[in-house]
Amino acid sequence: MKRSNALFILPVVLALFLFFFFPLEEIIRYSFTNARLFEKGYSYTLINYKMIFTDPDFLHSLKITVIFVIFSVIGQVGFGLLLGLLFYRMENIGLRYFSLVTRTVIVSAWVLPGVAIGIMWKLMFSDFQFGIVNYFLSHFVFHKPTMISFLSNARNALIIVTVSNIWRGLAFSMLLQYAALKQVPKELYEVASLDGANKLQRFFFITLPCISQQLLINITIATISTFNVFDAILSLTRGGPGKSTEVLSLMVYRSVFSNTDLSYGSAVGVILLIINLLISLMYLRIIFRKEVRA
Amino acid sequence: MRSSLIEKVVLSIICAFVFVIFIFPLFWTFSMSIRNPQEVFSYPPRLWPKNPTFANYKTVVLETDIPKYFLNSMILVLISVILVLIISIPSAYGLSRFSFRISSVLIPILLVVQMVPGILISITFFKYSRTLGIYNSLTFLSMTIAAYRSPFITWLLKSFFDTIPRELEEAAMIDGCTRLGALRRIFLPLATPGIATAVIFTSIFAWGDFVFPFIMIDDYKKFPVTVGIFAYTEAKYQVTTHLVATGAFLMVIPALIVFLLLQKYVVEALTAGAIKG
């Protein structure tokens, strides 16, 4: 093989080194120092990692992030599967057009900038009386004036942030599950019906095993993208009220830029990176196992 | 027969409910954007304003910097797309046509690095920005966005290029074409759908990108639309809700238009990382 052929892949290798490996190497290095954002000198130390696991802010942020991720992923994958089933069934009973229109609307949520999503949800869930959701609840659900503090109450804010993230990520899960469901051979259902299997049995013994691969891929990708959400939460709650929706990516931002504590923020970032790396390895295992089997 | 009618009705109701949940945030944002400031805060809130007006749009276009932010975002999208193609097309072609010793390591890495949080990368560039002259530079920002998306795009294009038979280029080369000539005349025309997917994917992400410009730009004249409108939500001493709604709605329109016109490619880009192994 000609050596000059290597020139073809040079651009992406350069991009990887200059825009991924170099910045990450710097972040890892900073995490072992006492560097401040606007100061030049620093010395190497392990203090950040000694502090981090007893820092109530970090432990709180980690806890919030894990709750946010677990419920987001359950919601995205669970509702994604339900919607996939809904659209699959609708196609079969002659509601093709309605299903197509609704799918289009769901996918359109995915192309919206995260900041815009945060702003749109903030407009709907305003705590004040002119908030449309509060008004809706007062009139149609509770039948009395209701003013729920959606975004100024710690627990509610986390719920809204999670629900908005499910809303945003549902397009991906729905498309994936819908495509997977269409791949399940129809003959399997027919044979099972002849053998007297009911709907539930067909779902658990045919559908689920056939789409398990896609479910696993869906779970890993949804997990990683939820760990990295930044823009939508910042524009919806700014991590507040207090620090009640300050997930790890926002804590990195606050530590580095608001507290100018470059080294500590980097250490938080390194932990976020390690979590992502572990889940990515799972994702690779699934993807490449699939390739071997196919 | 009757049970199937009941099923149709029940599924249609569920579907309508889902439809409303997904269209409502957009609808509400638009509805807020066509109100005057008094009606934004009036009680009871109405789904559709009593006196719809496009005055906010006029204000936004004539009296704010939002048009400038739009222009910046368009420049950002344009440069990012060009750069992504410059990085990814040759790289994907190389990985698809030749077997390098590092391919088996490089290909999984292309997939893994898209999980690196943008905030981490931007911190390093912020730290070096003044000495390197990259702070407040739209060009460097475009480079960062392009480089950040290029591994995934390279991988996406590689799996697309794998489906184009290499015999076509080889035949052209036997007939006297150079490799680059064969690439340009034979290969690229066939690769157009894959490249279109890459362009749309990059455009959507470059348009919506927030974290890189948020960290790497603080000159408001250079804000892209995401950071610019976010800055409006931070204005503490001014009531800007109606303008923020207007800005947010304007910001989503280009993304929605691209999506509606080129749905097929968007869906392909969205599911590519998961369905193809």
In a domain, B5, yes or no: no
In a domain, B50, yes or no: no
- Per-residue pLDDT tens over the stretch A216-257: 889 999 999 999 999 999 999 988 888 999 999 999 999 999
**Crossing angle of helices B2-33 and A56-92, rounded to 10°:** 130
**Is the Cβ pair B115, A252 closer than 8 Å?**
no
Number of domain units in chain B: 1
- Per-residue pLDDT tens over the stretch A178-220: 989 988 888 888 888 888 888 888 889 889 888 988 898 899 9
Whether residue A280 is predicted with pLDDT greater than 80 in this model: the reply is yes
* Neighboring chain B residues of A252 at a CB cutoff of 8 Å: 117, 119-120, 123
Whether residue A133 is predicted with pLDDT greater than 90 in this model: the reply is no
**Is the Cβ pair B15, A224 closer than 8 Å?**
no
**B256 φ, ψ (degrees, to nearest 5):** -65, -40
Would you call A175 an interface residue with chain B, using a CB distance cutoff of 8 Å?
Answer: yes
Whether residue A144 is predicted with pLDDT greater than 70 in this model: the reply is yes
Q: Higher pLDDT residue, A69 or A202?
A: A69
Helical spans, DSSP H, in B186-262 = 188-208, 211-216, 225-233, 241-261
Whether residue A293 is predicted with pLDDT greater than 60 in this model: the reply is no
How many CB atoms are closer than 10 A to CB B39? 18
Q: Higher pLDDT residue, A92 or A161?
A: A161
> Searching chain B, which residue's CA lies closest to the CA of residue A238?
B234
Mean pLDDT of A127-149: 78
Q: Which residues of chain B fall below pLDDT 50?
A: 1, 276-277
Q: Containing domain of residue B255, as a range? A: 58-275
Residue-level pLDDT at A240: 80
**Is the Cβ pair B256, A15 closer than 8 Å?**
no
The reply to whether omega before B44 is within 30° of 0 (cis) is yes
Query: First vs last Cα of chain B: how many Å apart?
Result: 43
CB nearest B109 (choices: A16, A113, A224): A16
Mean pLDDT of A145-163: 88
What number is the ipTM of this complex? 0.90
Integer Cα distance of A25 and A17 in angstroms: 10
- Per-residue pLDDT tens over the stretch A75-84: 999 999 999 9
% pLDDT > 70, chain A:
97
Alpha-carbon gap: B20 to the closest alpha carbon of chain A (Å): 9
Would you call B51 an interface residue with chain A, using a CB distance cutoff of 8 Å?
Answer: no
Residue-level pLDDT at B273: 63
Average pLDDT, chain B: 89
**Is the Cβ pair A252, B42 closer than 8 Å?**
no
Residue B237 is given by DSSP the state S
Whether residue A3 is predicted with pLDDT greater than 80 in this model: the reply is no
- Per-residue pLDDT tens over the stretch B217-263: 999 999 999 999 999 888 765 668 888 999 999 999 999 998 888 88
% pLDDT > 90, chain A:
60
Q: pTM for the complete prediction?
A: 0.90
Residue-level pLDDT at A85: 94
Average pLDDT, chain A: 90
From B42, B19, B23, B20, select the one nearest B32 (Cα to Cα): B42
Integer Cα distance of A33 and A21 in angstroms: 19
**Is the Cβ pair B116, A112 closer than 8 Å?**
no
In a domain, B96, yes or no: yes
Residue B135 belongs to domain with CATH number: 1.10.3720.10
Helical spans, DSSP H, in A53-150 = 56-92, 96-111, 114-124, 132-136
In a domain, B3, yes or no: no
Q: Which two tokens stand for residue A140?
A: 């149609």
Helical spans, DSSP H, in chain A = 6-16, 22-31, 47-52, 56-92, 96-111, 114-124, 132-136, 154-183, 186-194, 199-202, 208-227, 231-236, 248-253, 262-293
